[in-house]
Structure 1
Amino acid sequence: MTKTTTTRAVIAGCGGYLPERVVRNDDLAREFGLDTSDEWITERTGIRQRHIAAPGETASSMGAAAARRALERAGLGPEAVDAVIVATATPDSSFPATAARIQAALGMTRGIAFDIAAACAGFVYALGIADGMIRNGQVRSAMVVGTEVYSRIVDWTDRGTCVLFGDGAGAVLLVAGEGQGTAADRGILSTHLHSDGRFGDILLVDGGPGSTGGTGKLRMAGNQVFRHAVSKLAAVVDEALDANGLTHADVRWLVPHQANLRIIDAMGRKLRLPPERVVVTVDRHANTSAASIPLALAEAVSDGRIERGDLVVMEAIGGGLAWGAALARF
């Protein structure tokens, strides 16, 4: 009997980029005059430092650097890329899309490029879109980029929010591969996306490019976001596992959105994963929003922790509220 095959989006390469400038917790009090300390920040968030973009760095320049590294890891050139999909809340401009800027920076002269806006959940959303396009045969490959310059939208007088965020970019190259349509296949097994606009005002930027005008700064009701995060992320991870006939015991790695160490630890416990199976970068990168998962993924793949055949769970929640999870087998 002839075996049937199905098209899968396989992760061919991962890359990351972090700005050179590092701002440690104690630097915040000295440089920005904040009433805070390393102890206060670390105890509440697990964050010890963050990278801050240089004046000439943008979402597109950082995203292009991460994408080049993903191509290098895949052993491919830009001519192999059919689509560039960028998740960002800090685009270079209202338009053209930051993805189009990255497309040009990579030297691509064909294909498609567009941005999506789902805040910290943006990378999982972009991964879901790229996966769908590859499964449907619209493209054979897609560069999925999360890139953020949150240092330019935080209120540096608000110690409750500005200490949480950093800048950076991460990228994943997906290519079409074949599988048997089972959870043993390599590639993206499934993505699960949700949003609930009723909670849009607990995490937002109050203005900026667009119809509202103004400069716009990030505002967050941290306690409310935390309460939603743990319950919604736990539910969507279970949804992803159930959809593939898998259990917590099948998960090899959790690569979560790096928002807060308390949320990350809570998710690790719910999956019954030992701490060494949870990829943590929040202590060094802080919250880089849509860039946090691909940055963490690139690090764990580069240093050999994530190996061929490992089942990886990625999950994130952000302004919208928007949240989601993705399952991938390397």
Structure 2
Amino acid sequence: MGLVLTLAGGLAAVIAAVTVVVATAGDDPKKTSAKAAHEAGRNLRKNAALSLKGTYAGSPATFTVTRAGTARSDYTLAGDHVSRVDVGGTTYLKTGSRFWKAHGESPAKAGNAGGRWTKAPYNAVELGTGNLSPDQLGQTLLGAENEPLAKKTVVNGIKAIRMTTAGLTYSISTGEPRRVLRVEGRAANDAFSFDLTPLTASGRAMFLTTLRTDVQALKDAYNPNIIFDETGERPRLQECDASGCTAKVELQPDAWGGSNAIHIVMVTTFMGDDGDPVSSCTDSTLATSKILARFSCRTSGGAWTAWYRSHDRRFTVRALAVFRATVNSAQDVAAMLTALTREQQTA
């Protein structure tokens, strides 16, 4: 703004007034990012659960993660929608067969896993939800130092400091109380960017109610870590007549990565020389890795009897047994639900 002064002799002079703002250390993110990170980290760790919404591998993604790392997530990878549950330190995925083939599973295993809750092998989970828990994110920030490349930014209309520490980039509000607005990073080759929202008490209750429903569905989840002959086993057939036919198989499972008791389901399909299925039967057992397991089941019923009696001369009965290993008995599921209740009570 110009300031006009009247001088002697009737002359007028105009003096320009300029306001100069000098940045102080308190305004420089390069010098204040550590302090901001520590305050935001302490505030973040006070939350029992977070909602993280944004993108993962270029597609929309939602993760809800508790302080303990228990999580429920939805995203898209390898062209398939993925539903995910992390509970008790184990990750379970429900997605299509394309996803499993893209992660190196055989056609047989991809077919077994497709559309079914499946215990995830290590190579199918690049982004660990434990690293996105309020406790872990907050702990990382508590160890941050001033970041030379920290800069000012705006996230959803809120002024923030953008800084990187321990491989993650945080956007932290400049206003009090300091809070993390966004976290960005990479998991393997896939980038992610999530906006963070602490869950309210009612939000946590709703989340855990939904999660309990998912956990109940984890009973007999498929376990691809057990190795079988992918071509199937040829059963020994006994007592085959119009009333039925019995199939017996001996099998030695191999648990990749180790396992305790292994629940195995055998499905045996009976067919004629033309290869068309006639009937089937199932058997299941608890086995131990590299110990011989024995299976036996008998087919019967109207379809089998009618097919058997349709032949008036010598014919051949064939059978193919396919095995599927599963995890989580009813007792296992009950234990997981008890742990969720305990987590909710201590939140």
TM bucket by the smaller chain? under 0.3
Question: RCO (CA 8 Å, sep 6+): is it higher in 1 or 2?
Answer: 1
Structure 2 length-normalised TM: 0.24
* Bigger Rg, structure 1 or 2: 2
Q: Which has the higher strand share?
A: 2
Q: Which has the higher helix share?
A: 1
Structure 1 length-normalised TM: 0.25
